[in-house]
Structure 1
Amino acid sequence: MPLFMDVHHMNGGVTANDVAAAHVADLAEQDKHDVTYLRYWVNEEEGRIFCLCEAPSAEAANTVHREAHGLVADEIYQVQEGS
């Protein structure tokens, strides 16, 4: 399954608690679209959120966000994991 990293740019900042709640909503929605959200990172001060998921397509990943809470990604990249 392809791996995707998305980026959200939230004007005015964001709280880690709000992102955690949105992630829970993603987890509740993801199975309908064959998506698995794995991890997320937050920069509260700059209002940046980064989400990592396995999905059949970038659109499927963004559909989960749209249907779960409406906060679609500004950018989505297909990535490969490395160490």
Structure 2
Amino acid sequence: MPLYLDVHHISGGVSIDDVAHAHKQDLQTQGTYDVSYLRYWVDEGQGKIFCLVEAPDAETASTVHREAHGLVADEVYQVTEGA
């Protein structure tokens, strides 16, 4: 399954607790779409969130975010995992 890294830009910053809550909502929604949100990273001060997700395509990954909590990524990149 393709692997994607998405990037969110939240003006004014973001808290790790808020991102953890949104991630839990993704996990509750993802099964409907054959998507698996694997990991996330946060830069609280810069308001940046990075999500690693396996999905059939980028749009389906975005659909999970949209339905789970409404925070759709600003950028989505298909990536290949390296060592």
Task: Give TM class, smaller chain.
Answer: over 0.9
CA distance in 2, matches of 1:71, 1:13: 14
Please list every run of 5 or more consecutive structure 2 residues that lacks an aligned counterpart in the other structure. none
Structure 1 stretches (4+) deviating beyond 6 angstroms? Answer: none
CA distance in 1, matches of 2:33, 2:75: 19
Q: CA deviation at 1:36?
A: 0.2
With structure 1 as the length reference, what TM-score do the two structures score? 0.99
Q: CA deviation at 1:41?
A: 0.1
The one-letter code matched in structure 2 to 1:46 is Q
How many residue pairs were aligned?
83
1:79 equivalent to 2:76? Answer no
Q: CA deviation at 1:7?
A: 0.0
Q: The residue matched to 2:52 in structure 1 has which SS?
A: strand
The one-letter code matched in structure 2 to 1:34 is D
Match of 2:28 in 1: 28
Q: What is the Cα-based RMSD across aligned positions, in Å?
A: 0.3
Q: CA deviation at 1:67?
A: 0.1
Q: CA deviation at 1:32?
A: 0.6
- The Cα offsets for residues 22-56 of structure 1, whole Å up to 9 and x where unpaired, read as 00000000001110000000000000000001000
Please list every run of 5 or more consecutive structure 1 residues that lacks an aligned counterpart in the other structure. none
CA distance in 2, matches of 1:13, 1:61: 23
Match of 2:8 in 1: 8
